[in-house]
Amino acid sequence: MTAMSNWSVKFKKDCAIAFDEEHWQKMNYSTGCYEKRFSKSRENYRNAELERQRAYILRNKSLLNMEKLLVDFETHFNENGGNVLWARDVDDAQEMIWELINKRDIKAVTRTNSVVLDEIGLNKFLVEKKMPYYETSVSRYVLQAAGQAPYHPMFPALHLSKEEINSVLNQHYKLKLDSSSKQMVNFIRHQTSKHITQAQVCITGANFLLSDIGGVAMTENEGNIVKACASVKLHIVVADITKVIPSVEDLGLLLPLASAHSTGSSMSAINTITTGPAKNGNGPEQMVVILLDNGRSDVLGNEVIRQSLSCIRCGACVSVCPIYKNIGGYAYGTTYIGPIGAVMTPLMIDLEDYAHLTTLCSLCGRCVESCPVKIPITDLVIENRRLVATERIGDAKYEAMVRTMIGHGKSRKKMDCASWIKRLEIKQLVNKNAFTKRVMPEIAPKSFSQMSKDGEV
Ligand code: SF4
């Protein structure tokens, strides 16, 4: 057993910041809107469960054949005139991007809403290199102005109210404080369109890599991706290796499922497949796909946890997770947040540093019900807990508390002791911050066996 990692200490502090009534109400409102749209979108399916099962099989087969699918993707993409680079980790990916940018006379870069670009620390890297970059999605544009990180994979500015966004735009662009949502969106669209024409490179993620045609599938609702990619000389795609699927035909299953689960719409407004640089001079003259591993090959080796790699990043599990609604997006301290992030991060980065994330889940199962590719997230949480326990790298205090609780649960004498003693013990055992923001439930005055003896049950 080890003492708490620095990440764990930071996590507790950040949870305490997020844990307040106003935050809770904002999160509940936003995620509640999502849940209504999501359940309506499922009505579009005659048999949603069957589609999820098909997606589960497809994604798992893709993982098992990943090596071949990636090599085929590379062959076909090269035949189409593109280039594929293989990045082992974040440093590799950053170096590759810089080398590509440096070869050209580049004045500015645009980027799109993609979590993998956050994973490689793109914004910070470009700032360090003094290369101007522009966000092209509406919500990320606001976050860039506010100097904030995304709060949710699909709705990066989920934590900001309309008034807060208004205030950011007023502060940075002198937009009127009483602007309507429509006025704000129109203003940002105008700004992003201007930036898109100023940039010579666009960096995007990919929703799927299509092995059979060497294509990159990207899906969006705003139209900024397609505009940004079409107007530059160089299009760089950063895609993690798990994005590969066998065929363009599979999009018929996966794209509607991804839309329904990410935003609650039956289909995203704009879906693009690009198979390489433009052949007629109308689009990027160079297109490069950087395939990022960054610890995923190691996760592939664990048969149980491997299933987490079939995630299609729809964000549904994040939106429905009661823990996320309470602690928000920043407390995780990681790029991938919510239930799937809490499963993947300890294995992709460091089990010891992030062991605390394995204790978060209450195993309510809402994430499993909402996952379009049926990842058994709660089973994976339990597997992670097993690894932490086996390697004895969990928080020593937490372990001691659980052992004491188990000891008490096994002792009839202790279970029958007076309720005020139980209350005192719980207060001593449980983290001292646990009851600063909520009331500790009352302990029943009699134990079950006492009630049974007294004929009360
Ligand atoms: S684990 Fe499932 S629900 Fe969560 S983001 Fe991935 S695909 Fe979506």
Q: Write the pLDDT tens digit of every residue in 308-362.
A: 999 999 999 999 999 999 999 999 999 999 999 999 999 888 888 999 899 889 9
Question: Looking at the domain assignment, is residue 374 inside a domain?
Answer: yes
Which is the closest atom of ligand 1 to the Cα of 316?
3
Same domain, 108 and 177: yes
Are 306 and 170 found together in one domain?
no
Nearest atom within ligand 1 for CA of residue 370: 3
If one residue of 296, 299, 314 were mutated to test the ligand 1 pocket, choosing by the most ligand atoms within 8 A of its CB, it would be 314
Whether 50 and 159 map to the same domain: the answer is yes
311 lines ligand 1 (CB under 6 A): yes
In a domain, 168, yes or no: yes
Q: Output the pLDDT for position 33.
A: 93
Residue 111 · residue 135 · CB < 8 Å = yes
| Ligand 1, atom 3, residue with closest C-alpha | 371
How much is the pLDDT for 4?
Answer: 63
- Asked if 226 and 273 count as a contact pair (C-beta separation under 8 A), the reply is no
Same structural domain, 92 and 223: yes
Helical H segments across 251-295, by residue range: 251-262
Looking at the fold, whether 263 and 369 belong to one and the same domain comes out as no
Q: Which atom of ligand 1 is nearest to the CA of 377?
A: 1
**Cα 59 to ligand 1 centre (Å):** 12
**Ligand 1: distance of its center to the CA of 33 in Å?**
18
Atom of ligand 1 nearest to the CA of 308: 1
Do the domain assignments include residue 60? yes
Confidence of residue 423 (pLDDT cuts 50, 70, 90): confident
Number of helices (H) and strands (E) in the chain: give both, helices first: 22, 10
- DSSP element (H, E) containing 284: none
Pick from 294, 317, 340: which residue ends a domain?
A: 294
> 357, 387 in Cβ contact below 8 A?
no
Burial (CB count within 10 angstroms: exposed 0-12, middle 13-18, buried 19+), residue 129 = middle
* CB atoms inside a 10 Å sphere around CB 314: 25
How far is the centre of ligand 1, averaged over its atoms, from the C-alpha of 80 (Å)?
31
Task: Please check the confidence at residue 3 and state whether its pLDDT lies above 70.
Answer: no
Q: Which residue minimizes the CA distance to atom 2 of ligand 1?
A: 371
Residue 178 has pLDDT above 60, yes or no: yes
Cβ 340 under 6 angstroms from ligand 1: yes
The domain total for the chain is 3
Query: Which residue, 270, 274, 208, is CA-closest to 239?
Result: 208
How far apart are the two ends of the chain, measured CA to CA in Å?
42
Residue 125 lies in a domain: yes
Which of the listed residues 390, 410, 432 is the one where a domain comes to its end?
Answer: 390
Ligand 1 centroid – CA 76 distance (Å): 29
Q: Are residue 185 and residue 234 in the same domain, yes or no?
A: yes
Decide: 258 in ligand 1 pocket, CB within 6 A.
Answer: no
Where a domain ends, among 261, 278, 294? 294
Q: What band does 435 get if pLDDT is binned at 50, 70 and 90?
A: low
pTM of the model: 0.89
CA of 371 to the centre of ligand 1 (A): 5
Q: Residue 30: give the domain boundaries.
A: 6-39+302-390
User: Ligand 1: distance of its center to the CA of 440 in Å?
Assistant: 33
Joined together, the tokens standing for residue 12 give: 């507790």
User: Cα(301) to centroid of ligand 1, in Å?
Assistant: 20
Choose the weakest-confidence range: 223-232, 245-254, 299-308.
299-308
Q: Please check the confidence at residue 408 and state whether its pLDDT lies above 90.
A: no
- For the Cβ of 381 lying below 6 angstroms from any atom of ligand 1, the answer is no
Same domain, yes or no: 197 and 258: yes
Residue 329 lies in a domain: yes
Residue 1 has pLDDT above 60, yes or no: no
Instruction: Please tell me whether residues 104 and 207 are part of one structural domain.
Output: yes
What are 249's two structure tokens? 């035909």
Least confident of 37-46, 356-365, 408-417, 435-444: 435-444
Q: Would you say residue 1 lies in a domain? A: no
For position 121, which CATH number holds? Answer: 3.40.50.10420
419: pLDDT strictly greater than 90: no
Question: What CATH number should be reported for the domain holding residue 307?
Answer: 1.10.1060
For residue 436, pLDDT beyond 70: no
Domain identity same for 385 and 403? no
Look at ligand 1, atom 8, and give the residue with the nearest C-alpha. Answer: 314
Ligand 1 centre and the CA of 238: distance in Å?
A: 20
The verdict on 163 and 237 lying in the same domain is yes
CA distance 54 to 59: 9
**76/72 Cα distance (integer angstroms):** 6
Does residue 411 sit within a domain?
Answer: yes
Instruction: Tell me: do 177 and 31 sit in the same domain.
Output: no
My answer on whether 404 and 444 are in the same domain is: yes
171 domain-assigned: yes
Write down the pLDDT at residue 391.
Answer: 83
